[in-house]
Amino acid sequence: MEHSSFIGLFQNVSLLLAVALLFEVAVVRFKKSNTFLTQVVTGIALGGIGVVVMLTPWKLMPGVVFDTRSVLVGISGLFFGPLSTAIAVIMTSALRLVQGGLGAWTGVGVIAASGLIGSVWRCYRGRQLHQMTWRELYLFGLVVNIVMLALMLTLPWDIALKVLDNIALPVIAIYPVGTALLGSLLVNYLQRERTGRQLIESMERYRLLVDTANEGIWAMDREHVTTYVNAAMADMIGYSPDEMIGQKVEDYFFPEDMELHSQRMARRHGGEDDVYERRFRRRDGKELWTMVSAKALKGDRNEFNGSFAMFTDITLRKEAQNALAQSELLLRTIINTIPDLVWLKDIDGRYLQCNKKFERFFGADESAIIGKDDYAFFNKELADFFRDNDRKAIEAGGPRINEEWLTFVEDDYSGLFETIKSPMYDAHGRLIGVLGIAREITARKMAEEALRESEERFKALHNASFGGIAIHDKGVILECNLGLSEMFGYARDELIGMDGLFLVAERSRDVVMAHIRAGYEKPYEEYGRRKNGEEFPMRLEARNLPYKGKMVRAVEFRDITDSVKAAQALLDAKEAAESATRAKSEFLANMSHEVRTPLNGVLGMLQLLQTTEQTDEQKEYILGAIKSTKRLTRLLADILDISKIEAGKLQIIEAEFFTACLQESIMEIFRPTAREKSLAFDFHVDAQMPPMLIGDETRVRQILFNLVGNALKFTESGSVQVDAMVLPAKNSGAVRVLFAVSDTGIGISDEQLKDIFEPFVQGERSYTRCYQGAGLGLAIVRKLVRILGGEMVIDNTAGNGTTVYVSLPFKLPVPHQEPAAQQPRQADGPAETPLRILLVEDDEFSLFAGKRMLHKMGCSVTTAPDGREALAILHEQDFDLVLMDIQMPVMDGVEATKAIRGSSDLGEKSHIPIIAMTAYAMTGDKELFLAAGMDGYISKPVERDELKVVVERAIDKTL
């Protein structure tokens, strides 16, 4: 073959390789889809490359040309599939026929054979084309081109020999190498594509693994802003991952954990990795405890660039640890409070733990005892004895009781102990030691010995017993005392050998027999039967005891006729007393209600009359009537207080109050009275008095009201002075205050002092007495002082005045910042928007008075005579407040309130403030009304100022 032939073939192969490289770049994006259209386009491209290759052939002779189409078509069949190869074969075959010449059909055969060999080889390799080596590709090219040379024999023989002589060596030398080079390029592409696909799949698997991991995963940047969080972590805290991305990790901490977090993050910024426990605040506010494994992320210059951490939820474990700690603390507390000696040893006899009693007994702390054995505290003989008992308990596999004498020569102590030793095992059943509990029984043993010594004395005193005693065997009486004979009316000889059931009434025999069979030894009561047939209540108590070599029953009989009668009489008396108390309470409640209701109308009318124009004479009449009404109201309150105190139902409510407010209230109430009587009146508070105390201000004010009221009542000239002084207290958290109420009045005689504190007792008892009152004030004061834990003393000189000293204990409040004073609401006069009030009242006069008072306070008032009509009106109209009477026809106030609170039809109006305005004033009434859903309470008769305050307070709560 000529040198020019080699050059032509090399140029053809180079063109094919260059075009193949361009083809790889051009079709890379189309081959991934592998659709029919993609294969057609790829086949056309391959055919186009074949056409280009065939247009630059090497002509051996006219009609016989050579190029690298066999390489292209073979590679096409091997790498691009049958459809693309078929299209390329058709295109190149068509071009060869168009070129014509002697070798046209031989060329077509070469094209078809090359495509067929490539396709068959592809089927043989399957999906493993990326694994083809250079050697295999070279072998493939060699096969394709050997077949091509073989097809040259289809030419005329002389031409075929000439062709083979010219092209055999270049074809065999160059074409397989070109095939291998082109195939290697495509194999490399397949390998790169496979590697890329595997990388993507690996990344997807990694993301799936992270997103579905049971552990929480959290990544943050250098500013602690969340950049990634998986579903498990977000679910632990109660959020979604999208909600947490962009949030700082500190947003999920408790404030008290921030200092420790700052310390950890300082180390993290320094590049330290860490494993620790971290607490988070869940969305619902609960704690989430996690075990954190955190790693610092670093930038190119080794600077802190963020953090990556994995979290395991250990909340249940922490809760279990806390519960275990609490359980251990409880167990330790119980063990330390047990009056017995308690200790635990390991299997080698060394002490592991002991209680406080053990420490005190041994005269050493637990720390000095742990790790030592019995030989450190006792002599060898006694220590050997203890160790032997330990081993016996271990061998027994359960508790073993011993009696052990302990002797301490140093302090000459010797005592007998009952010791229970039990082997201890861990959760896996492995022996860990011996638990011991010891109780000193020296005294008990001495008592037992004394008991044995007294048996003979007991026998001697047997017949002197105040009850009947019988010893029987299976019911047959073996022995009895004189008391049994006298109790049942039988002679002793008649009783011996008798069936003991004859001493029991028929109605009780089954019970007695059951107790005998069960060996019952506790006292019980049944009925006995005397010889004359009389039945009587008796108390039985039986014991098993040895008697002449066998176990028998000793029974004590007690005639309890008198005690049963006494108990029944006591029960009858108790029921009678309770019945009387209930009747008294019901009477007081009804009396209070029935008197307060008309009083409410009277006081309301009088207060309304005060708001009109009056002459001085009318003003005096009205003021007197109001004073009388209030006096009757106070009398009712005093009677109810006496009833509460005697029934033990008076409630003491401690709260903080200002001493200045107490002083101001006393002065405000009694200054007008003192001014009317031209008396000097003052209330002086010691400068050392704390500004605020804790106590029942209401009861303290009630005590002072009664004392100051009495002082003003019985003082016609001179002065009334109230002083409050601080007394020394036993501790810093409390104080005692001495109140002194002094007057220059008539004083109290010694005879009057004897019973002046009894209810309904007065200093004057004649029809000509000068001073009014029911005689309850001082009785209430003394009882209240006692209930509050105070003391009361009277310093008195008849005719020269009286001083009453009351000492009361108070607690001191913990210092805190006083709240800013609230500005009172202005309720007098017409408001810009008048309050809309629904007044529910069945009493005509109370309804009229209440409505008019509210009108004068600037309120808009709608009325209803009962609860049912109030509900109907509330459905139709809007109101700011409901004033609700309790006792009404059709539907009472409690039922109406429950209906309002439970009504869904009312909407927001079901939450309207409701104030009970009632004549019920007994203990528990207010609590009952508040429990029914009411917001406040005011008792009748209603004073205008008090009504105004209650309305303002209720409205303020809704603002």
Whether 93 contacts 116, CB under 8 Å? no
Helix, strand, coil percent values for the chain (each to nearest 5)? 55, 20, 25
Strand partners, 471: 479, 554
Q: Which of 324-333, 420-429, 471-480 has the lowest mean pLDDT?
A: 324-333
Greater pLDDT, 920 or 344:
344
User: How confident is the model over 858-869, as a mean pLDDT?
Assistant: 93
Topology of domain 651-811, per CATH? Heat Shock Protein 90 (3.30.565)
As given in the structure block, the two tokens for residue 479 are 């022995």
Task: Locate 428 and state its tokens.
Answer: 């896996």
Kindly indicate the confidence band of residue 895, based on its pLDDT and cuts at 50, 70 and 90.
Answer: very high
- Percent of the chain exceeding pLDDT 90 equals 19
DSSP per-residue codes, 180-227: HHHHHHHHHHHHHHHHHHHHHHHHHHHHHHHHH-SSEEEEE-TT-BEE
Q: According to DSSP H, which parts of 763-866 are helical?
A: 777-787, 844-856
Tokens 């040895």 belong to residue: 546
**What is the CATH architecture of 3-198?**
Orthogonal Bundle (1.10)
Q: So what's the pLDDT on residue 338?
A: 81
Residue 767 has pLDDT above 60, yes or no: no
The pair of three-digit structure tokens given for residue 557, joined into one six-digit string = 């009989």
| Cα–chain center distance at 277 | 22
Maximum separation of any 2 CA atoms in the chain, in Å: 174
DSSP structure string for 462-518: GGG-SSEEEEEETTEEEEE-HHHHHHHT--HHHHTT-BGGGGB-HHHHHHHHHHHHH
At 580 the pLDDT is 64
Q: To 10 degrees, the CA torsion angle through 622, 626, 627, 629? A: 140
Determine the pLDDT at residue 101.
75
Q: How far apart are CA 727 and CA 590, in angstroms?
A: 44
For the full predicted model, state whether its pTM sits above 0.75. no
Query: What does the alpha-carbon distance between residue 791 and residue 515 come to, in Å, rounded to a whole number?
Result: 57
DSSP string, 263-276: HHHHHHHTT--EEE
pLDDT digits (tens, 9 = 90+) for 211-245: 666 788 899 998 999 998 988 889 999 999 999 99
CA distances from 885 to 314, 755, 909 (A): 58, 41, 19
More confident residue, 70 or 380: 380
| Cα-based angle 797, 778, 692 (whole degrees, multiple of 5) | 100
Domains of the chain: which residue ranges? 3-198, 213-319, 338-445, 465-559, 651-811, 836-958
Instruction: Report d(CA 781, CA 760) in Å as an integer.
Output: 13
Which residue carries 């195939």 as its tokens? 183
Residue 940: per-residue pLDDT: 76
Q: What local confidence, expressed as pLDDT, does residue 691 receive?
A: 93
Is the pLDDT at 623 greater than 80? The verdict is: no
CA–CA dist 113, 178 (Å, integer): 18
CATH number of the domain at 836-958, please?
3.40.50.2300
Answer yes or no: is pLDDT of 504 > 90. yes
With tokens 């009045």, the residue in question is 745
pLDDT at 466 > cutoff 70: no
Q: Tokens standing for 884? A: 């609700």
pLDDT tens readout for residues 577-612: 666 656 665 566 566 666 666 766 676 677 777 777
Geometric angle at alpha carbon 807, from 805 and 812, rounded to 5°: 145
Q: What is the 3-state secondary structure (H, E, C) of 890-947?
A: CCCHHHHHHHHHCCCCCHHHHHCCEEEEECCCCCCHHHHHHHCCCCEEEECCCCHHHH
Q: Is the model more confident about 620 or about 229?
A: 229
Where is 165: in which H helix or E strand? helix 157-212
Q: What is the pLDDT of residue 109?
A: 85
Lowest-pLDDT range of 202-206, 346-350, 896-900? 202-206
How far apart (Å, rounded) are the C-alpha atoms in residues 251 and 308?
Answer: 17
Q: What is the pLDDT of residue 624?
A: 67
- Within a 13 Å sphere around the CA of 233, how many CA atoms are in the beta-carbon half? 24
Give the pLDDT score at 211.
63
Stretch among 15-24, 114-123, 725-734, 932-941 having the lowest mean pLDDT: 15-24
Residues β-bridged to residue 480: 470
Residues 888 and 841: their CA atoms lie apart, in Å, by: 7
**pLDDT band, residue 534 (cuts 50/70/90):** very high
Residue among 775, 769, 739 at smallest CA distance from 756: 775
Residue 395 has pLDDT above 70, yes or no: yes
User: Comparing C-alpha atoms, which of 359, 335, 341, 339 is closest to residue 404?
Assistant: 341
Running DSSP on this structure, what letter comes out for residue 825? P
Architecture of domain 213-319: 2-Layer Sandwich (3.30)
683 and 659 in contact (C-beta within 8 Å)? no
Dihedral (CA of 279, 283, 286, 289) sign: negative
Task: Please tell me the predicted confidence (pLDDT) of residue 819.
Answer: 44
Tell me if 761 sits within 8 A of 752, measured CB to CB.
no
Phi/psi at 53 (5° precision): -60, -45
Distance in angstroms (rounded) separating the CA atoms of residues 8 and 56? 9
Residue 713 makes CB contacts below 8 A (sequence gap 6+) with: 771, 772, 773
Kind plus residue range of the DSSP H or E element containing 147: helix 134-151
Backbone angles phi, psi at 298, to 5 degrees: -115, 150
Most confident of the ranges 26-30, 565-569, 870-874: 870-874
User: Which of 228-232, 273-277, 769-773, 946-950 is the least confident region?
Assistant: 769-773
How would you write 353-415 as a 3-class SS string? Answer: EECHHHHHHHCCCHHHHCCCCHHHCCCHHHHHHHHHHHHHHHHHCCCEEEEEEEEECCCCEEE
What span, in angstroms and rounded, lies between the C-alpha atoms of 233 and 192? Answer: 37
The predicted structure's pLDDT at residue 768: 33
Cα–Cα distance, 423 to 400 (Å, whole number):
9
Q: What is the pLDDT of residue 686?
A: 92
Task: Give the model confidence (pLDDT) of 272-313 as tens digits.
Answer: 888 999 999 999 999 999 999 999 888 878 888 889 899 999
Buried b (16+ CB within 10 A) or exposed e, 158-188: ebbebbbebbeebbeebbbbbbbbbbebbbe
Tell me the average pLDDT across 834-861. Answer: 88
Q: What is the pLDDT of residues 28-82, one digit of tens each?
A: 444 455 567 877 877 777 777 777 777 766 666 666 666 677 777 888 888 777 8
For residues 180-195, give the mean pLDDT: 76
The mean pLDDT of the chain is 79
Confidence category of residue 738, pLDDT binned at 50, 70, 90: very high
Q: According to the model, what pLDDT value does residue 51 have?
A: 76
The β-bridge partners of 527 are 537
Q: What is the pLDDT of residue 459?
A: 56
Whole-number percent of the chain with pLDDT over 70: 79
Greater model confidence, 732 or 923? 732
**849 contacts 857 by C-beta, under 8 angstroms:** no
CA distance 292 to 330: 31
SS3 796: strand
Question: 465-559: what fold?
Answer: Beta-Lactamase (3.30.450)
With beta carbons less than 8 A apart as the criterion, state whether 65 and 57 touch. yes
Whole-number Å distance between alpha carbons of 239 and 229:
11
Judge whether 3-198 and 651-811 match in fold. Answer: no
Contact, 736 vs 810, CB < 8 A?
yes
User: Which of 622-636, 722-736, 916-930 ranks highest by mean pLDDT?
Assistant: 722-736
Give the count of alpha carbons within 13 A of 16, CB side only.
Answer: 33
Domain spanning 338-445: which CATH class is it, in words?
alpha beta
Report the alpha-carbon distance of residue 582 to residue 923 in Å, rounded: 13
pLDDT digits (tens, 9 = 90+) for 134-176: 888 888 888 888 888 888 888 888 777 877 877 788 778 778 8
